Chains A and B, each alone.
Chain A
């Protein structure tokens, strides 16, 4: 399985500011995913990021709010822009296993609190 790291592990930010979350994988992967886990809730997919193409966003998420970069096969960033307290969540990146079973492996998450 892939080893995934995220930076920062947690942050406290003021409303109106932006935060960029980094996701690093120890092997080359085609598909990377970004999820949001609001307090006490399940995981919701924000977008799918493939290297060399624009990220694909799920309904309810837009590029202006959550711009994503995917410069190579081992790295991606998610920016949470113009933050409000409603953006307080855990943000997780994941990678596709590349196997026929389609499981994903997750990073440890970034816990964001917006004040």
Chain B
């Protein structure tokens, strides 16, 4: 079955540091890939998405590129802020039933 693996966390950074959260996947066919974010005490929000190989999703300074050859979708941000502190989930959606499969989540804490 489909699966998503995220880098083990938590991740602690200082403000303005560079962020990378690794995500790799296993899937049959050609899934859509997503990053979702869960801020403290809030629900899950879609951060960015990519639907085919070499697509780059971007939002709020975050970027991720759909790499079919390495089955990866790493999340990056050049300069993190305290307000980016949250849990980040990598996910894929199969195109047959639209079900989402989530990675285990990465807790990001950014200190001033």
A residues sitting closer than 8 Å to B (CB atoms) are: 1, 31, 33, 41-45, 48, 92, 94, 96, 100-109
CA distance A103 to B100 in the complex (A): 8
Residues in A with CB closer than 8 Å to B101 are 45
- Decide: B51 and A100 in contact? CB cutoff 8 A: yes
A-B contacts at CB below 8 angstroms, number: 55
- Decide: A103 and B93 in contact? CB cutoff 8 A: yes
- Decide if the interface of chain A is mainly helix, strand, loop or mixed: strand
Contact of A42 among B43, B99, B103 (CB under 8 A): B103
- Decide: A42 and B104 in contact? CB cutoff 8 A: yes
B residues sitting closer than 8 Å to A (CB atoms) are: 32, 34, 36, 42-46, 49, 51, 89, 93-95, 97-105
- Decide: B89 and A42 in contact? CB cutoff 8 A: yes
- Decide: A48 and B99 in contact? CB cutoff 8 A: yes
Residues in B with CB closer than 8 Å to A31 are 98
| Residue contacts A-B, CB under 8 angstroms, 10 given | A1-B46, A43-B100, A92-B43, A96-B98, A100-B51, A101-B51, A102-B98, A103-B46, A103-B49, A108-B43
Give the shortest distance, in Å, between B56 (CB) and chain A (any CB): 14
Residues in A with CB closer than 8 Å to B43 are 92, 106-109
- Decide: B100 and A104 in contact? CB cutoff 8 A: yes
